Amino acid sequence: MAKIMVIDDEKDLLFLLKILIEKEGHEVIEAGNGLEAYNMLTNVENPVRPDLILLDIMMPQMDGYTFQSRLQEIDELKNIPIIIVTAKGQTKELFEMSNNVYSFLEKPFDPKNLVKTVKGALEYGRKNNH
C-alpha cells in the first residue's frame, strides 16, 4: 500500500480520485490547493511523506506549477513522483525541465488509465528513490 497525495480544488474530482485510488488499496491524503499540501509536507512536527502526488494546475492560493517548483527546493521532497492532472493541454511545456513529473493526465480522464498511470509512477518512484 502506498500513500498518495491528491491535490485538487474541485471537490467532486478529489472525491472521485480518492475512491479510485483507495479501491486499489492505497491510502489517500487530500489537499484542496497547493498551499495546503505544501504546509502538510513541510510541517515540522508531523510532515506528510507521500509515495506519489497527483497534482492539479489551476488552483487558488498556490497553483500546481508553484507547488511543484517549491518541492524542487527541498531535498526530502524533490524526488516524489508527480502526475499532473489538468484540463489544460498546453501546460506540459512548463514542466519539461522537471525530473520528478512522471506523467500528465488530461481531464476528463479514463479511470483505467489513471490506475495504470498511478501504478507506473509508484514503480518508478520505488526504483529511483530506494
pLDDT digits (tens, 9 = 90+) for 65-101: 999 999 999 999 999 999 999 876 656 677 776 788 9
- Per-residue HEC secondary structure of 15-77 comes to HHHHHHHHHCCCEEEEECCHHHHHHHHCCCCCCCCCCEEEECCCCCCCCHHHHHHHHCCCCCC
The answer to whether the CB of 50 falls within 8 A of the CB of 29 is yes
According to DSSP, the residues that pair with 5 across neighbouring strands are 29, 53
Question: Does the structure show a pLDDT above 70 at 130?
Answer: no
35: Cα within 13 Å, side-chain hemisphere = 4
Contacts for 73 with CB less than 8 Å, ≥ 6 apart: none
How high does pLDDT run on average in the chain? 91
Nearest Cα to Cα of residue 57 among 67, 49, 71 = 67
Instruction: Please give the CATH number for the structural domain made up of 3-129.
Output: 3.40.50.2300
Nearest Cα to Cα of residue 60 among 35, 84, 82 = 35
pLDDT at 88: 63
pLDDT at 72: 92
Instruction: Say what the pTM is.
Output: 0.93
Q: What is the residue extent of each domain of the chain?
A: 3-129
pLDDT at 121: 96
